């Protein structure tokens, strides 16, 4: 099971090695998708690849360490019927989540998406949308 969560650090927790503690304690595979943390706090968008109970353990440990955790309830959706395969979204996507396949169609890799939403206004036909799950 892979689950994306947003971990928000306060100024008090920003300097603590919380992520490494959680990884060492749970042995879960955690991928940092996006990070924006400074001395005043910030957030991490992470992907946890582990069985369901292990994911809940990871979330619980983050909370015990004093950080706020929320599930990612949004996603970017590509409407393939509207898409013109122009590539505008690919040129703006810094993570490679949007890419061209060998048949020249556009594909979206949710695992690489950081939900920056830069691709949404770049699409001339509005084939990309942010949706709440």
Q: What's the pLDDT at 112?
A: 83
Q: What is the pLDDT along the chain (133 residues), one digit of tens a residue?
A: 678 899 999 999 999 999 999 999 999 999 898 888 899 999 998 989 888 799 999 999 999 999 999 987 767 899 999 999 999 999 999 889 999 999 999 999 887 888 888 999 999 999 999 886 5
Q: What's the pLDDT at 2?
A: 76
Angle between helices 18-26 and 52-64 (to 10 degrees): 140
What CATH number should be reported for the domain whose range is 75-132? 3.30.70.20
Coil/strand/helix, residue 129: strand
Beta-bridge partner residues of 45: 6, 34
Question: Does the CA dihedral 126-128-131-133 come out positive or negative?
Answer: positive
Coil/strand/helix, residue 22: helix
Q: What's the pLDDT at 33?
A: 84
Q: What's the pLDDT at 117?
A: 86
Identify the CATH homologous superfamily for domain 2-71.
ACT domain (3.30.70.260)
- The domain segmentation of the chain, as residue ranges, is 2-71, 75-132
């Amino acid at each position: 099971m892979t689950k994306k969560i947003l971990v928000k650090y306060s100024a008090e927790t920003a300097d603590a090695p919380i992520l490494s503690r959680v990884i060492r304690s749970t042995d879960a595979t955690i991928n940092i998708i996006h990070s924006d943390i400074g001395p005043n706090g910030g957030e991490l968008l992470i992907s946890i690849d582990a069985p369901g109970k292990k994911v809940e353990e990871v979330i619980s440990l983050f909370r015990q360490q004093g950080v706020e955790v929320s599930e990612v309830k949004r996603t970017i959706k590509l409407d393939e019927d509207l898409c013109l395969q122009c590539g505008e979204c690919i040129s703006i996507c810094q993570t490679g989540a949007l890419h061209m396949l060998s048949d020249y169609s556009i594909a979206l890799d949710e695992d690489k998406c950081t939900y920056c939403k830069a691709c949404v206004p770049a699409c001339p036909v509005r084939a990309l949308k942010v949706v709440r799950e």
